[in-house]
Structure 1
Amino acid sequence: MSPRKIIHIDMDAFYASVEQRDHPEWRGKPLIVARAAEERGVVAAASYEARRYGIHSAMSTHRAQQRCPQLILAPPRFAVYRAVSLQIRALMLAITDTVEPLSLDEAYLDVSDSPHENGSATRIAERLRAEIFAATGLTASAGVSYNKMLA
């Protein structure tokens, strides 16, 4: 029996990246997806630029704005994130029927029996990352191993 080939795909700063994609003027700037501090908001996602200020998911919006006064606050658009997630999921399902979603921005794929890319899980992951970027303008990270924990 040959070892399993598992790919873990994780979209990079997914909600924040969708907002920066859809609002070019926000690219390269610290941004969070969150409700306003007055609404007891918490950070759902932080762009990489915001993370440089120590801002992270689950932090209060108020505290995030204290750390970075020029922070852009994007209200969550979950319907948009779901639509993009479904678009990405369709790309995954074109490669294998064995897709295990973990959240809107993360999934495991079992490509053990895949005929794509001569069966190379690494090449399949590279191809999928390129297809995701071409289709959505978003980047994804990928891990490859023989089990989920290591992938």
Structure 2
Amino acid sequence: MPTAGAVRREVAMGRGREQWRGIVALGLVLGVSGCAAPGRQAEDVEAAEESGGQEEAAEPMGGAVEGPEAQPMVAWQQELAELDQALGEDEAGFGEALSSGDCDLAYELRDRICELAERICGIAEEHPEAAARCDDADVRCSRARERVADECD
């Protein structure tokens, strides 16, 4: 038969476990809801106040938006990113088609690369900050035309 002291220890340990579980559950809830640590926005406000309200450009190099604190892309930026990604994928497929001697596919991909370049440049006409991507897309189109002419014509 357990002694009174042993029973009290068991009860105390049970309460300790319950408290521990409660603390862990609370930590998970706060961590998931974002209340566990101060947000970056508060740091940005403090930094802006210290610098006299002047902010530095928040966009990473290359125009890519990174991290959860980044501003959502506007529609034209999203379209530009999708076109740029499709251009890269088509260019990779184009190289594979030429390597395998599949000129029919190479012609098709060359045309798609140039079509994507035109669409990217169309966006750049309305949004001058996309001009560098237009220039890059034009170079890719020209290069695709030259390569298919050299290897398939």
TM-score range, shorter chain: under 0.3
Q: TM-score, normalising length from structure 2?
A: 0.26
Give TM-score scaled by structure 1 length. Answer: 0.26
Larger helix percent: 2
Query: Which is bigger in relative contact order (C-alpha 8 A, separation at least 6)?
Result: 1
Please tell me whether Structure 1 or Structure 2 has the larger radius of gyration of its CA atoms: 2
